[in-house]
Amino acid sequence: MKIGVLSLQGAFREHLDTLDAIGVEGVRVREPADLAGVSGLILPGGESTTMRQLIERWGLHGPIIDLADRGAPIFGTCAGMIVLAAEIAGGEPPILPLLDVTVERNAFGRQLESFEAEIDVPVLGRTPVHAVFIRAPIIDRTGPGVDILARLDDGRVVAVRQRNIIATAFHPELAGETRFHRLMATMAAEHDDPGEGSGRRPHPTRRSLSARRDEAAR
């Protein structure tokens, strides 16, 4: 199993190191051909406007949407969460609108307002996640199909999942935290082999995104 890491800009090396630490092969993704054979994709932190430009320049928009539509897990951290959001506060057009949330960029202020916190993420177990927030976004709105994975003490949402899409406002990879990457690896393995036997139920992440959007429109 191989998991791709978008390696155009930002903190992609730390994600590759984290995948290596948990025994998963990480692949640098810079052009569509690099997505061949990957079972999932990580969108790292960085600068979302630059990432928008590079995704378009290298023709990655459609191939990433197709990868998600096939049910492969996509995980975005910090700027990666902005890239995945269906709506960006302020009217900026979305980049890869795969996640039914509204995000606010730089919600905590500039670099000097960066901070670290212990975050409860029940889906990952009882031990809190050590989270690093650097010019972090925040989620202002979640759609009905979005599961909230974590909040700050003041109630603001900082981690979500919608079927095969995961996003965090913070950087687990900068804190030596591996559990989000382990969750993604588990999802990628399920995507590769959703089970055997003719009687199994359809795998929930295998339903196409277009089918889900059609249902939501009814």
End-to-end alpha carbon distance in the chain: 37
Q: List phi, psi (to 5°) of 61.
A: -60, -60
> Is 191 an annotated catalytic residue?
no
> Is 78 an annotated catalytic residue?
yes
Q: Of 14, 87, 104, 173, which one is the catalytic site residue?
A: 173
Q: Of 15, 78, 177, 181, which one is the catalytic site residue?
A: 78
Q: Of 171, 181, 190, 191, which one is the catalytic site residue?
A: 171
> Is 171 an annotated catalytic residue?
yes
Catalytic residues: 78, 171, 173
